[in-house]
Structure 1
Amino acid sequence: MSEWLTREEALARLNVRPQTLYAYVSRGRIGMRPDGADPRRSQYRADDIAALATRRARGRSPQAIAESAIAWGEPAITTAISTVLHGRLVYRGKDAGALAATATLEETAGLLWASRSRVSFASLTPSAVRQSGTPTAFARLSALAAEGWPSLGRRPAMLQQDGAAATSVLATSLGAIPGSEPVHERLAQGWSVDAAGADLIRRALMLLADHELNASTFAARVAASTGAPIAACLLAGLATLTGPRHGGAGAAAIALIEDAERLGPDEAVARWLAHDRPLPAFGHQLYPEGDPRAEALFSEFKIDVGLLRLRDAVLAATGLHPNIDFALAALTRGLRLPADAPFRLFALGRSVGWTAHAVEQVTSNRPIRPRARYDGPIGSN
């Protein structure tokens, strides 16, 4: 639940006049609602006020604004694809948690790409791939990128076709069997998962499809701004996703779960914190009150007692809630998926978002080329 402030509290935190507060509300920069105890009075959303106060404290220096945009700061790129708004993930104006009830990854791609035609990730020819996994995905996507057309000067529909082809290659590389069925069904067959498990995979892929301007998406957009082929943009995203602070967090989450099983949850949490290691799969700066993507997955399957105990131990020790990485680790264990399934699901689902952002970046025709603030020595003449 969001925190709400009285008029007096809001004015004190912002140090502004009432007229300025009302102007922020009218522009949609601060949420407002009637006070439940006294409908004649209003309450104001605390996280909106905190964000405004932070921006005002930085001042309007271009350098300060530019530097603040790099790490969880000011919005740096305009997009119509997705956003996180008051603790909800929104895909083109639609709540992703609600869409997860029925939407496939193909339908999500149609929405995020604003496609005028039905999206398919079909792979109708028998796959020559003998093994599946991350190395295979890199190899096949690299080959596709090397052969791809540059993206500049081409219609969005053509770029979307390139994205669909690249996602199809990723799907079979990461374990999906060839076919024309929705990709979650083919992935479930490749992993020997029943229909109920296939629906959980569908839900996970859809929830992972996009997440605003995260690190891998930014990398994909940078590549797109140079006119690189769409497959190369996805390759940039995939490379960035491998980092332990991004798509690699699922492996760390499983390691924490295994420690909790061996040592007990309280001892495992204490050891990770004592070694100055951030707890993987818990907490998210965009979701201080809990990751709605994790909640949307947890609502459909029952996690085991050991994971519940770990969740409670972390909450008691840190106040942090489980995020999507914890949910993917729980799903992997519950369905007995390959050990690297969290990364595979992340990569396949997010390829849809990478494509959406790459196409949006290309059609905007704007380069991404920030300047560096030099902090080194100046040589003498």
Structure 2
Amino acid sequence: MEESIRIDGADHLSSEQVARRLGVRLQTVYAYASRGVLHRRRLPGRRESYFALAEVEALTGGTGRGGTGRRRPPGLSDDVRTAITLIEHDRLSYRGHDATVLAADRTFVEVVELLWQRPARLVAGPQDVDRARRLLHQLPPEASAADRLALVARACAAGTVDRHDLAPDQVTTAMGRLLATSAVTTGAVTPGDVATTDGSTPPPEPVDVPATLAGALGISQVRWVEQALVLLADHDMAGSTTAARVAASARADPYAVVAAAAGAFDSPLHGTAGRRAHRLLGALAEDPAATLAECLQDRPVPGFGHLVYAEQDPRAEFLLDRLAELVDHPLLASVELLSDRLWQRRGLVRTVDLALALGAHLLGGGSRLPEVLFLHARLVGWTAHALEEYREPPLRFRLQGVYTGPRP
């Protein structure tokens, strides 16, 4: 039996010991803690997390050596086998390549090709762009990035006769069109943007997605935008990615897969979390002392605390470091102070939502920058997972409910 440590008179195990005991990955242990399945304890001067032995043994279906074996805690699954993304020991990697190294050394297109395992053709046809702008013109200004993507996907799908062809090359061609068209139509749509066709069909134009998005957001630091897109391209089985794989398992076409994923993405607990982080940083800039005091209370803090990272979100640290190199601004020092206090007092790591929100404050783009970059980046990951899921037996996510209502 592994040696435990006594905390307040009870035996506790380290996070690594818990992972070995349950037979799960380390980030799964942190997910258990985040969802309340296990309760995390910290000791002064130590960065390690500890968990009550009794709680851990309860998950194995018994106590000590007499347990009946591991059972899966609610809401978690280790059953989806994937060769795309690994999150381990607070490191993120795509197909065996550290994502922060990729962000430093590679272009966005190179990372797309790594994840899709084939050439990336990011082109926007004039007819797709025109259809998309006609639809987008009907949306109110406050429409979310996911609302807009759903309409762009519909515009692209409408002009695709072979949208149900799930061959890998067809899928990546379709998603390259969608990504490029969405980037081109990200800016505000005015009546003058809606063209009238003369019946001719100009050739599709290659799109530099990072530069196009940066231009739409009014940001001059294109390389920072590109690095953010690389780091956000995939994150294992996040909620929107799970939705994408369920749709792909039902053999939905790739446009419908993206629509399903975008629906799960459009949530303050996932893709739109950057909005609240942006508001927090606005308050921090106006009144640092009061905002800091409020954040130290026992309540969620936008941009802090993550399901799978224990000590640092590598995406956040990379982007925050680059911002410090690009800009000299008092808000940087305030964010550092807030980050240090929240880590010391509450053990909360700063997340990529915070980094994106800070980028919006320092570089421009406004409150919509976080979700615009996040959504376009993650479309790449959804495509990679759809390609992988299309190779699996169909309809494998058909779950059976546990009925709790009145019997007939």
TM-score, length-normalised on structure 1?
0.77
1:84, 1:212 within 8 Å by CA — same for their partners in 2? yes
CA-to-partner distance for each residue in 1:126-145, whole Å, 9 max, x for gaps? 84437686243222223334
Distance in 2 of aligned mates of 1:180 and 1:152 = 24
Map of 2:400 onto structure 1: 371
Q: Does 1:51 align with 2:19?
A: yes
Instruction: Name the counterpart of 2:347.
Output: 319
State percent identity of aligned pairs. 30
1:228 aligned onto 2:219: no
1:293 to 315, 318, 338: 315
Work out whether residues 151 and 362 of structure 1, in 8 Å CA contact, stay in contact via their aligned partners in 2: no
Runs of at least 5 residues in structure 1 that lack an aligned partner in the other structure: 1-9, 15-44
Does residue 111 of structure 1 match 2:114? yes
| Segment drifting more, 85-94 vs 48-57 | 48-57
One-letter amino acid matched to 2:400:
R
Alpha-carbon spacing, 1:317–1:48, altered in 2? closer, same or farther (3 Å): closer
> What is the Cα deviation at residue 46 of structure 1?
5.1
Distance 1:183 1:228, change over 3 A: same
Structure 2 distance, partners of 1:108, 1:59, is 40
SS in 2 for 1:301: helix
Shift of 1:82: 0.5
2:359 aligned partner: 331
Q: Is the 8 A contact 1:257 1:310 kept in 2?
A: no
Q: Does 1:271 align with 2:294?
A: yes
Q: CA 1:182–1:224 in 2, change beyond 3 Å: closer, same or farther?
A: same
Equivalences, count = 330
Alignment partners' CA distance in 2, 1:169 and 1:215: 24
Match of 2:212 among 186, 199, 224: 186
1:298-354 Cα shifts (integer Å, max 9, x gaps): 221216333233323423432212110000001111111132110000000000000
Deviations 1:65-91 (A, max 9, x none): 3x54x24xx412011111201111010
Gaps of 5+ in 2: 6-12, 24-55, 62-67, 194-203, 325-330
2:332 equivalent in structure 1: 304
Whether 1:353 aligns to 2:384 is no
What secondary structure sits across from 1:295 in the alignment?
helix
SS of structure 2 residue aligned to 1:108: helix
Cα distance in 1 between the residues matched to 2:159 and 2:152: 11
- Distance in 2 (CA, whole Å) between partners of 1:364 and 1:233 is 15
Q: 1:270: Cα distance to partner?
A: 4.0
Matches within 5 A, 1:78-97: 78-97=81-100
Distance 1:92 1:175, change over 3 A: farther
Q: TM-score, normalised by structure 2?
A: 0.73
Measured in 2, the distance between the counterparts of 1:316 and 1:347 equals: 32
**Equivalent in 130, 138, 141 of residue 150 of structure 2:** 138
Q: Name the residue aligned to 1:11.
A: 2
RMSD: 3.0
5 Å-filtered alignment, 1:68-217, equals 68=74, 70-71=75-76, 74-115=77-118, 117=119, 119-123=120-124, 125=126, 127-128=129-130, 129=133, 134=145, 135-145=147-157, 154-175=166-187, 180-194=206-220, 197-217=221-241
Give the partner amino acid of 2:2.
Answer: L
Counterpart contact for 2:2–2:17, Cα < 8 Å = no
